[in-house]
Structure 1
Amino acid sequence: MGTGPDSPRELSASRPVFTALPQPRICDAPAPLPAAASGEDPSGALWSVHQPSVLLIEDDPGDALLVEELMADSGVPLRLRWARSLADAVKQLGEGVPQCILLDLHLPDAQGLEALERVLGHAADSAVVVLTGLAEEQAGLAAVAAGAQDYLIKGRLEADFFVRAIRYAIQRKQTELAASALQTGRLRAQENARLERGLLPTPLLLDATVAVCARYQPGRSQALLGGDFYDVVQTPDGTTHAVVGDVSGHGPDEAALGVCLRVAWRSFVLAGSRGRRLLSLLEQILVAERSGPEIFATLTCLTRVRGDKHMDVLRAGHPGLLLRSPGECVHLEEVPGGPALGLLPGLVATWPVTSVPVPELGSVVMFTDGLIEGRIGAGTERLGEDGLLEIAQRHAHQPADAFVDTLIHSAQTLAASSGGLADDVAVLHLEWNGTT
């Protein structure tokens, strides 16, 4: 291309030029986009409202001046900044990432694909258009293969083509980012489905003596499942075993740990572990698998032998449970409990086994604390177990499915003024029909 002045200051009298100041600079006010151009590219009309930002990384003042002239001649509004080196560009990128970067591959502090790699490392969301010389078209192709959206040859630039290339590069980058986000969303949905299958299993029932109604609802801040889990297993002797638990914290690690504990619980139950021994084994699993020492889990386990009028309950830092009688009576059963799993690893923890009477044809409702910790009223008071009991007593006449749904909906409605239930909710309703 033609030679330029040694410094852009020498041409300031004839045409505005770049400035190395970090603040974005707007070029001369452009003329409206020609009608023909608007017809060819409908998206161009949007540029008059949202002026794309462009960072030129170029050490040659003459080439930099040519870029500004091309932008001014195109009549398309762009916000342009200039960096004379990669170090200067990195500094400016720290102050704001542009939509498009025009990159010369021959800089005083970076050459070729190394320069591109470093730019992409600092501005992964920006479209990159590489500027090459007449004899360096292969370098431009290599840059596109390495992550640039396009390349332009300096000696073959025309104003309309030049700005159109920038525009299309930005649109291609936005399409790439959208496709990447969509793929990430699909992978996340697949992972969520796997976690859901692990956290919310199909009860393992051998006959119709017990009916199970289970519900799970993510908290308002959750895009994925949290660490709440439940399970029901009926062993060959007809005994019903059930668990509801909650891993502290939120996120994929906690959800995976919840899956691990749920699967371990089912395995230990089928292998014959009961009572304190069962909880001790679960704590060993938690300590071995958790991501940090601050992670713990609460849970309630119950066991009811077929035909028995009592059930054995163990509680590890978990809320109580509701007992329903056929006569539309509900009461809260707060059995003695021990510490949450993982709070006192290595020490001998005590989890008492409590025998609780179960009314004939009665049912049991187990739940995680997300159901009772929602803030109600002015947002200073929590629903709590007593508030949940009041709701349950008002709707004690409802069948299992409607009863559980009403509990969750009522708790959600009461917490609506504070944004809804913040934590995950798991509810498990067990109903025995009296058949032996």
Structure 2
Amino acid sequence: MSVECTRLASGLTVVTETMPHLESVALGVWIKSGSRDETAGEHGIAHLLEHMAFKGTARRSARQIAEEIENVGGEVNAATSVETTSYYARILKDHVPLAIDILADILTNSVMDETELHREKHVILQEIGAAMDTPDDVVFDKFSSTAFRDQTIGRSILGTPETVQSFTPDQIRKYLNRNYTADKMIIVAAGAVDHAELVRLVEEGFAGIPASPDVMPEEPVARYTGGEYREKRDLMDVQLLIGFEGRPYHARDFYASQILANVLGGGMSSRLFQEVREHRGLCYSVYALHWGFSDTGVFGIHAATGEEDIPELVPVILNELRKVADRVDESEIERARAQFRAGLLMAHESPAARASQIARQMLLYGRPIPNDELMERLGNITPQRLTDLSGRLFFDTPVTLSAVGPLDKLMDLEEIGAGLATGRMRRAAIG
């Protein structure tokens, strides 16, 4: 296997990893633009554009786009996140030219037809309704909007019914022209692909992509705020998220934060799973997460439990946070490293996973990161470093609380802060 990278004159970057033993290729276009890049009046437009890209071009109808790729046994899809948008396909190796032609067509020639736009707005309104009816979706959406209050980074990717219904074709084109430019795009393919041939196809198909926007918009720096959101619902369970300010991708402690999340709640052997679920039986689901962004991050604990267990569950979680700031065993770090290493190696067995992995690295760091280099970074993480990080994460930043369900027995934010204050005082005494 080998990774090759070519930067075209337009600024567009093409990266491939050849896997000659395969008969298929996973390829896509990753754009360094997502819901965070929307202006105040564009809430939800990035996601709507992702939908509209498949709804007809100057050369193909929406049906033709779907039929042409599926006629050869392939598939095509897209996804919008906070900081990126991706359009990707999986095909047999003989149909790479078709996949590139379709991706280039939908990204350079979409017509934004009014009838299709009206229909797709209705689809997204259904999507928003379904999310609002799903408590674990609501608790995560509200967690983000509370952690980053009144900022685009904290807004729901789907938008609101009011904003989605308001968008016009011209507004969508304006967003596209401002964000879908060659300097923000990476095209990645993994599998049975020839690098030189892919570069040629991309040069032809994406010749119409502008090199950069006419006006470079300011990118506001994210500001973690913390706070709480509570929504009482008549449900059988409580969805709960307790969070703190995390670390951005480029921070020294980013990988340490990933390891810490694994130690605390990364699997069945993690501390939270063993103590909260296995030993005490206080919930049916509990795990830790760390989301990194370009300039900030969030660290969170999610639990789903019954109303009667809430009074005991939250103090136990807080106690585990205090304990991890006191002691981490080397064996726990080694187990987390082993899981990361397995994930890296397993990605090499899937062209789709490998293409996505390379694309993320290119967007974040400007180059593919060899597995040996990633494991070296993880190898530098020590127990002392994790206990120090835990203290700074859990005791030195405001708490974010998001909860949905029967909440009468859930302690208030001040009590949660007081529960962590004992850890803060013990840390100060030790220091």
Higher relative contact order (CA 8 A, sep 6+): 2
Normalized against structure 1, the TM-score is what? Answer: 0.21
| Higher fraction of strand | 1
| Higher fraction of helix | 2
Larger Rg: 1
Normalized against structure 2, the TM-score is what? Answer: 0.22
